[in-house]
Amino acid sequence: MIDFSFTEEQIMIQKLARDFAQKEVAPRIKELDQKAEFDRSILTKMAELGILGLSIPTKYGGSGGDYISLGLACEELEYVDTSLRVILSVHIGLNSLTLLSWGTEDQKQKYLVPQAQGKKIATFGLTEPNAGSDVVAIEAKAQKSGDYWILNGEKMWISLADVADNFLIFAWTDQEKRKKRDHSGMSCFIVERSFPGVSTATIHGKLGIRAGNTGSISLSDVKVPKENMLGEEGEGFKIAMFALDQGRYTVAWGATGLIKACLDHSVKYANERKTFGEVIGKHQLVKEMISDMVSGYECSRLLCLKAGWLKNKGLRSTKETSLAKMYACDASEKASSHAVQIYGAYGYSDEYPVERFYRNSKGAVIYEGSREIHKLMQADYALGYRIDKPTRCTLPLPEE
Ligand SMILES: Cc1cc2nc3c(=O)[nH]c(=O)nc-3n(C[C@H](O)[C@H](O)[C@H](O)COP(=O)(O)OP(=O)(O)OC[C@H]3O[C@@H](n4cnc5c(N)ncnc54)[C@H](O)[C@@H]3O)c2cc1C
């Protein structure tokens, strides 16, 4: 039987994330967003509270918790601002959970432990100026030289690029395979900001997530020790897809929180603003928008819970996670558009948070697999074109 009640631990983590976001960030988020300023003290506080080590076992410096706890935390963080959830998506979802599943014991001790403790911040560098959805089109390359790999390339649109200490970088290690677009020629490397030849920059003028950092990473003859290859040579593509299975899960939960924020603000305003002698909540077309948000929230949450349930059991959830991500992000874009509409002209200014929600909602429809890529995936599963091969998909539970 499916059980929809949460455990005490899950509720505790949900409350921890909610209290942190509401007390520490909500009062300042408007200003941070307006100034397009990433506030590093937020990371310090998240580290102190153990939020940066959620779902990482305590034996690796984390604070434990299962996939549902991680999801609930993402929902609470994005309820306040998308930039907070993005931190968890890259630091935990795309990077730390990938290290946990694919790293050697030495790599876990050296990189995962300080990341889970929040002493080091981590992100994920796959996208390039000429390659996003088409991962095999990346151009970054790594050449073997003695005990090192020499990395060259440009990564673009990387969350926390100008903030993180550690990066997972994907590059071609086999140029012949690259020419044939054979993804078994790609590998993954753990790269430290401190390695000579690494430089980063921030992208300015973004539509949304302005309180977050997004940027580029330049790699110029970066000497990466051979023990920093994650997985085996040629496993980079598989690792990237594994990482995205974790990251998309956090994005889906975050989008669900964004819908809830739109709903709560809209309900409040609809019960206050009057036109034609009654509050606008009494008008049927406004009710329709509220109803869309209710169904969007409930359906997104159910899809997230199903993906989390599969993940907790150590079962493959690529299809379910993709569907949750696709549906929730679409629903959050729609909900935030409705929220601006319900606020009328006031929704069009930054006096109320709904315009920020609207701008923030768009990114998730593009990153971690655009809406179109997820639609293709879902259709391919339905048509039987996609064979879901077993892969590493397990978070050790609980505290194994
Ligand atoms: C705020 C933000 C943060 C990000 N953070 C990260 C990060 O931390 N790490 C990282 O590696 N990347 C990150 N990205 C990059 C993101 O993952 C890519 O933008 C995304 O994969 C899409 O790639 P693209 O932008 O190159 O678009 P393209 O791949 O060029 O696609 C352009 C358009 O064509 C559509 N399209 C492409 N191929 C098909 C197809 N076969 N069928 C139908 N339609 C198609 C797409 O859906 C899209 O609408 C981030 C992006 C943003 C905006």
pLDDT tens for each residue of 287-309: 999 999 999 999 999 999 999 99
Instruction: Say whether 368 is catalytic.
Output: yes
Place of tokens 């996609």: 386
- Looking at residue 397, its pLDDT comes to 37
Ligand 1 centroid to residue 134 C-alpha, Å = 8
Per-residue exposure over 151-176, b if at least 16 CB sit within 10 Å of its own CB, e if not = bbbbbbbbbbbbbbbbbbbbbbbbee
Both 230 and 254 in one domain: the answer is: no
* Angle in degrees, 0-180, between the axes of helices 318-343 and 236-270, rounded to the nearest 10: 30
State whether the beta carbon of 107 lies less than 6 angstroms from ligand 1.
no
CA-proximal residue: ligand 1, atom 22 (nearest)? 132
Q: Whose CA is nearest to atom 23 of ligand 1?
A: 132
Give the closest residue to 16 by CA, choosing from 62, 41, 52: 52
290 Cβ closer than 6 Å to some ligand 1 atom = no
pLDDT tens per residue, range 77-121: 999 999 999 999 999 999 999 999 999 999 999 999 999 999 999
What pLDDT sits at residue 389?
60
Indicate if 287 and 216 belong to the same structural domain.
no
CA 228 to ligand 1 center in whole angstroms = 27
Which of 75, 235, 333, 368 is an active site residue?
Answer: 368
The domain that contains 322 carries what CATH number?
Answer: 1.20.140.10
Determine whether the shortest distance from the Cβ of 367 to ligand 1 is under 6 A.
yes
Of the residues 235, 268, 287, the one at which a domain ends:
235
Among 201, 235, 269, the domain boundary falls at 235
Q: Are residues 81 and 177 in the same domain?
A: no
Residue 395 is predicted with a pLDDT of: 46
Alpha carbon 209 to its chain centroid, in Å, reads 12
Select from 92, 126, 127, 361 the residue to mutate for testing ligand 1; criterion: most ligand atoms less than 8 Å from CB.
127
Checking DSSP bridges between strand 122-125 and strand 278-279, what pairing results, if any?
unpaired
Question: Are 170 and 198 found together in one domain?
Answer: yes
pLDDT, tens digit only, all 400 positions of the chain: 678 899 999 999 999 999 999 999 999 999 999 999 999 999 999 999 999 999 999 999 999 999 999 999 999 999 999 999 999 999 999 999 999 999 999 999 999 999 999 999 999 999 999 999 999 999 999 999 999 999 999 999 999 999 999 999 999 999 999 999 999 999 999 999 999 999 999 999 999 999 999 999 999 999 999 999 999 999 999 999 999 999 999 999 999 999 999 999 999 999 999 999 999 999 999 999 999 999 999 999 999 999 999 999 999 899 999 999 999 999 999 999 999 999 999 999 999 999 999 999 999 999 999 999 999 999 999 998 876 665 554 444 333 3
Q: How far is the CA of 132 from the centre of ligand 1 (A)?
A: 4
Domains of the chain: total: 3
What is the pLDDT, as a whole number, of residue 77? Answer: 98
- Count of H helices and E strands in the chain? 14, 10
Q: Does any ligand 1 atom lie closer than 6 A to the CB of residue 104?
A: no
Indicate whether 400 belongs to any domain.
no
Please give the distance, rounded to the nearest whole angstrom, from the Cα atom of residue 205 to the centre of ligand 1. 18
pTM of the model: 0.97
The residues, any chain, with a CB within 8 Å of residue 327's CB and separated by 6 or more, are: 252, 299, 300, 303
What's the domain range around 294? 238-383
Residue 70: C-alpha distances to residues 143, 154, 256, 312 (Å): 37, 31, 13, 11
- The Cα 205–Cα 170 span in angstroms is 26
CATH code, 65: 1.10.540.10
Q: Are residues 267 and 373 in the same domain?
A: yes
The set of residues, in sequence order, having a beta carbon less than 8 Å from that of 173 and lying 6+ positions away, is 141, 142, 144, 149, 185, 186, 187, 233, 234, 236
Give the per-residue pLDDT at 400.
30
With a 6 Å cutoff on the Cβ, whether 130 touches ligand 1 is no
Residue closest via CA to ligand 1's atom 25 equals: 132
Ligand 1 in contact with 209 (CB < 6 A)?
A: yes
* 88 and 212 belong to one structural domain: no
- DSSP assigned state of 137: G
Cα–Cα distance, 296 to 292 (Å, whole number): 6
Residues 147 and 162 in one domain: yes
Domain final residue, candidates 103, 121, 139? 121
Query: Do 144 and 66 reside in the same domain of the chain?
Result: no
Q: Are 372 and 244 part of one and the same domain?
A: yes
State residue 399's pLDDT score. Answer: 36
